[in-house]
Amino acid sequence: MRSLKTLLFFVFIGLSVLTCSDRKEYTATGKVHVMREGEHYTLIRDQVPFVIKGVAGFTHLKELRDAGGNTIRTWDTTNLQNILDSAQHYHIAVVAGLPLYNSNHVKEYYSDSQAVNKLHQKMEAIVNRYKNHPALLMWCLGNELHYFYEPQDDFFTAYNNLLKMIHRKDPDHPVTTALLGFGRKNIYHVRTKVPDLDIISINTYGRISSLKEDLDHFSWFWDGPFVVGEWGINGYWESDSTAWGAPIEDTSTKKAERYKSIYTTLMPYDNPRYLGSLVFYWGFQHEKTPTWFSMFSDDGAKSASIGSLTTLWNGPTVLHPGPPLNYMLVDQKGAHDNLIFQPNTVHQAEILLTQPAEGLRLRWEVRPEDWYKEQFDDSNKNKIPPPALDSLLSQVDGLNATFRVPKTEGPYRIYCWIYDAYGNFASANTPFYVVK
């Protein structure tokens, strides 16, 4: 049975629906705009329907074009001129991020009129500078802002003033914001407190399994257009973990299969409000591990996930499949076996393939576990991989490696990158713990 508090919340939502404007009006103006026909929404770019087949990331644009993608997303305006110019060269559209302070950083920021005025001036200068760039698709005003869940009046005043400024200075491009998952409270606050927002973007990973249902069940309150602003494999916060809390990462082979499965079975692309999606992460980025979300290696090789996306966007395509990685074992055990070793002991790691392959090059590394606790605070996120302890590798022979675990107690991982002669890589890693 629902609690009284929950029932009152939904009664309040229902009353708000009656009191706020019925729904946002969509007019066919601007180089990019949302057109509505009945219950169907279409993104129009230069008078042509445009469905976002995009990535979260802003590098490897030639590879994106070749894969059949058409859009990238940035989270801030760093190097935006070069990104827009490069995107235009490869016929790629850009969702340009306009970053805002989040409530987990400084709640009092938006009550400081001088600080807000300075922010307003900075944003206005950015909009004026880039609004006429032909690669620009839309603006994303804020990413995963916690204010939408824990509202603060000063924030919404500042946000709406920024939104009005963007619409006034640049009527040719819509504005969205990216929400952290599909949260009814988030959408309620956006819908009632920011009624002029053009599009809602939803960042979702493991919870994408319920996105279709969530959209349908809440359409009585919100039936506007949406973009899946980030999607991908389960995040490290959603995955199985070892006894000491280290998340267990799938091999790159399993990730490629998962991307294809998510897109074909879970993505709400048949929803009439769907404008497109952006997959995370197109590039190389350390986030808990250097391989968790990265579709490229640090030296530019491509993972099998790119092949999956190419097939989804371009149809069946003849591609070299990449290294046929199956999984990694350490002392004939896997990550779910909770590998705990004595200091300075010697162990054997091996890579198993799905089929024999020649011409492969293997790179092995042992690294300390990235042990930072984020607590929803980006400032605590380690952006640089812990250094590799390469001296621990005593012998590498084909698909096998002999390594000595560190003398210092704590959590570690052994990584393997496998390269072929065609610019592809596969990766696997196994966490272990050293205890005295």
- Are residues 366 and 291 located together in one domain of the fold? no
> 416 and 350 in one domain?
yes
- Model confidence over 276-328: pLDDT tens digits? 999 999 999 999 999 999 999 999 999 999 999 999 999 887 678 899 999 99
Tell me, yes or no, whether 222 lies in a domain. yes
- Same domain, yes or no: 310 and 331: no
What is the three-class DSSP state of 162? helix
| Residue 12, in any domain of the structure | no
Sheet bearing 400-404, strands edge to edge: 325-330, 346-353, 400-404, 393-397
Write down the mean pLDDT value for the chain: 91
The number of domains in the chain is: 2
What mean pLDDT do residues 31-53 have?
96
* CA pair distance 236, 259, nearest whole angstrom: 15
Within its chain, how far is the Cα of 374 from the centroid?
16
Domain around 352: 325-434
Domain boundary among 314, 345, 372: 314
Closest CA to 93 of 119, 66, 64: 64
Do 309 and 399 sit in the same domain of this protein?
no
pLDDT at 15 exceeding the cut of 70:
no
Residue 139 in domain: yes
pLDDT of amino acid 320 = 86
Closest CA to 352 of 321, 333, 327: 327
Examine the domain organization and report whether 140 and 229 are in the same domain.
Answer: yes
Indicate if the pLDDT at residue 244 is higher than 50: yes
Residues 174 and 265 in one domain: yes
pLDDT at 108: 86
Q: Are residues 78 and 210 in the same domain?
A: yes
Q: Is residue 8 situated within a structural domain?
A: no
Within a domain: residue 100?
A: yes
Give the residue, 116 or 384, on which the prediction is more confident: 116
- pLDDT at position 395 over 90: no
Residue 281: asked if its preceding bond is cis (omega within 30°), the reply is yes
Looking up residue 107, the CATH number of its domain turns out to be 3.20.20.80
Q: What is the pLDDT of residues 343-378, one digit of tens each?
A: 999 999 999 999 999 999 999 999 999 985 554 444
Residue 306 domain flag: yes
Could you tell me the pTM of the whole model? Answer: 0.91
Residue 302 and residue 414 in one domain: no
Residues 213 and 272 in one domain: yes
290, 333: one domain: no
Domain assignment present for 102: yes
Pair 107, 169 in one domain: yes
Residues 278 and 384 in one domain: no
Question: Which band of pLDDT confidence, cut at 50, 70 and 90, is reported for residue 394?
Answer: confident
Q: Tens digit of pLDDT for each residue in 269-288?
A: 999 999 999 999 999 999 99
Using 50, 70 and 90 to split pLDDT, how confident is the model at 381? low
In a domain, 338, yes or no: yes
